[in-house]
């Protein structure tokens, strides 16, 4: 399997090169040259456990790693999850909640980043190379990325996040990791500022090559690939032996998670509708409902991981939707970057598969309260956005809502929703031993301006450079 850029000016490359490159040299995003179909194999996959299904899905895209090595990477990546099902399905009222928070940082990003961390280690060891990872996070990506690579010998990681915008627990999950290879950068700005800085650095090809920069954000294809697996897994589990299709409600800001579901459907898994659920940052719902893609100001909400205006993975969607037409993608992106708005000529709806809705803070809080009171199930505010969006699905077929984080990571939002005073049973859901100990740990972070020169200077001063054996090998 070869990988190509959404912008068409990068030579095709193998999976390993695509993972190490992160962002394509032409500024586009890397995707497989074709989406493989497993439609004719679904009956054979029906009863597979998560890890075995992950191997069957991933090996369709990873043709330059030996099967035994790939299977070992997958098994090690999910060995430390709290649930034997990895992403268990829980029936709550008339929906199924897919709990994606049983990894080491209690967020759905662990599903991809535990795999990516092990994958990076494997590739660097086989090549005797080093890497400096640069990432941007609005909440959970940073801690999950750090957990995936902390202490790894050939990797340094630099994680930018908007100062004061993630929840305090989300921040502590990053800043209390004090391994020598971890650097947390609190940026004076929004997540979009962090993401813009990251892309600017990666587009400086000379700087990227000099410091062996790699990406852990969902611009890295391996992130999206790992997430395809849980859509495949849930749809097969609930399809009643392939007699019905499953719909998914996805809280998303950067479009990576729902893109994985879109690809799973393209592969032939029994998926009907994908509901894109955003908070007040509604650039994506506006697009899917009107065909207008227009950047607005960032709204800071109770679901900070979705406080995003420009969704990086949206470009991959445009490429797939256009029939892999890189010229059309370049035209769209150039118009957006120069004018801040693109009007897509379309017939309604924009996409038959994707429905979209914006859920405001009041409805988010009401949804948390409703499910706690009626079902004794506590939702974190991001998951509540997705659950609230389930009202768009009018179907007797299964509806799965993605639970993207453990509720204990957002105690203030949940206390506000439930007006908690002395509800000990509910308060227990707001606690987790991994989080309770964070306040007692040493914290380390560096404040930095939202400035490309300041970021480059910091990376230059703290990057992992090749040692003599690496220099000789290369």
Q: Is residue 44 included in any domain, yes or no?
A: no
Domain tally, the chain: 1
What does the pLDDT look like over 238-263, one tens digit per residue? 999 999 999 999 999 889 999 999 99
CATH of the domain at 264: 3.40.50.1100
Nearest to 165 by CA among 139, 145, 146, 129: 139
Among the listed residues 109, 265, 370, 409, the single catalytic one is 109
Say how far apart CA 421 and CA 424 lie, in whole Å. Answer: 9
In a domain, 169, yes or no: no
Residue 314 lies in a domain: yes
- Is a pLDDT exceeding 60 seen at residue 212? yes
Question: Which pLDDT tens digit goes with each residue over 286-308?
Answer: 999 999 999 888 888 999 888 88
Please name which of 308, 310, 315 lies closest in space to residue 333, comparing C-alpha atoms: 315
Is residue 300 one of the residues assigned to a domain? yes
Domain of residue 376 covers: 89-106+222-432
- What's the first-to-final CA gap in the chain, in angstroms? 25
71 Cβ contact list (under 8 Å, min separation 6): 55
Angle (CA) 278 280 284, round 5° = 45
pLDDT tens digit sequence for 186-196: 999 998 899 89
Residue 143 and residue 159: Cα distance in Å, rounded?
9
State how far the Cα of 29 lies from the Cα of 383, in Å rounded to an integer: 27
Distance from C-alpha of 294 to C-alpha of 291, rounded to nearest angstrom: 10
Residue 146 is assigned to a structural domain of this protein? no
Is 109 in the active site?
Answer: yes
Residue 282 inside a domain? The answer is yes
Instruction: Assign 428 a pLDDT band (cuts: 50, 70, 90).
Output: low
Q: Is 178 within the bounds of a domain?
A: no
**Residue 135 falls inside a structural domain:** no
| Residue 429: pLDDT band with limits 50, 70, 90 | low
């Amino acid at each position: 399997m070869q990988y190509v850029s959404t912008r068409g000016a990068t030579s095709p490359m193998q999976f390993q090169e695509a993972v190490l490159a992160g962002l394509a040299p032409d500024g586009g995003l890397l995707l497989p040259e074709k989406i493989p179909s497993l439609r004719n194999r679904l009956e054979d996959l029906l009863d597979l456990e998560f890890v075995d299904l992950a191997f069957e899905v991933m090996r369709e895209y990873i043709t330059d790693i030996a099967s035994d090595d790939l299977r070992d990477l997958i098994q090690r990546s999910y060995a430390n999850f709290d649930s034997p099902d990895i992403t268990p399905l829980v029936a709550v009222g008339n929906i199924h909640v897919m709990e994606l928070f049983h990894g080491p940082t209690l967020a759905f990003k662990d599903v991809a980043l535990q795999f990516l961390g092990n994958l990076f280690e494997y590739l660097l060891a086989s090549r005797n190379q080093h890497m400096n990872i640069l990432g941007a996070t609005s909440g959970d990506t940073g801690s999950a990325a750090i957990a995936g690579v902390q202490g790894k010998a050939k990797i340094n990681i630099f994680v930018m996040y908007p100062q004061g915008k993630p929840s305090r627990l989300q921040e502590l999950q990053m800043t209390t990791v004090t391994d020598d290879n971890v650097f947390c950068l609190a940026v004076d700005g929004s997540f979009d500022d962090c993401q813009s800085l990251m892309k600017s650095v990666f587009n400086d090809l000379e700087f990227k090559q000099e410091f062996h920069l790699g990406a852990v954000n969902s611009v890295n294809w391996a992130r999206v690939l790992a997430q395809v697996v849980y859509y495949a897994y849930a749809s097969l589990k609930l399809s009643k032996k392939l007699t019905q299709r499953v719909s998914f409600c996805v809280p998303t800001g950067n479009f990576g998670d729902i893109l994985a579901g879109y690809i799973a459907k393209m592969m032939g898994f029994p998926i009907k509708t994908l509901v894109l659920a955003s908070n007040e940052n509604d650039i994506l719902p506006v697009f899917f409902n009107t065909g207008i893609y227009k950047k607005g100001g960032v709204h800071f909400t109770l679901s900070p991981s979705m406080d995003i205006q420009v969704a990086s993975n949206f470009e991959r969607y445009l490429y797939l939707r256009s029939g892999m037409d890189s010229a059309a993608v370049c035209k769209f992106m150039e118009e957006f970057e120069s004018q801040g708005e693109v009007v897509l000529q379309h017939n309604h709806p924009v996409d038959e598969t994707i429905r979209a809705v914006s859920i405001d803070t009041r409805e988010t809080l009401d949804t948390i309260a409703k499910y706690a009171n009626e079902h004794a199930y506590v939702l974190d505010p991001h998951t509540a956005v997705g659950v609230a969006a389930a009202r768009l699905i009018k179907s007797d077929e299964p509806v799965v809502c993605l639970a993207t984080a453990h509720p204990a990571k957002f105690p203030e939002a949940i206390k506000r929703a439930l007006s908690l005073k002395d509800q000990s049973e509910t308060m227990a859901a707001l606690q987790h031993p991994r989080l309770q100990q964070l306040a007692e740990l040493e914290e380390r972070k560096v404040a930095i301006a939202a400035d490309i020169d300041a970021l480059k200077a910091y990376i230059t001063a703290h990057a992992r450079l090749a040692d003599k054996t690496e220099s000789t090998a290369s």
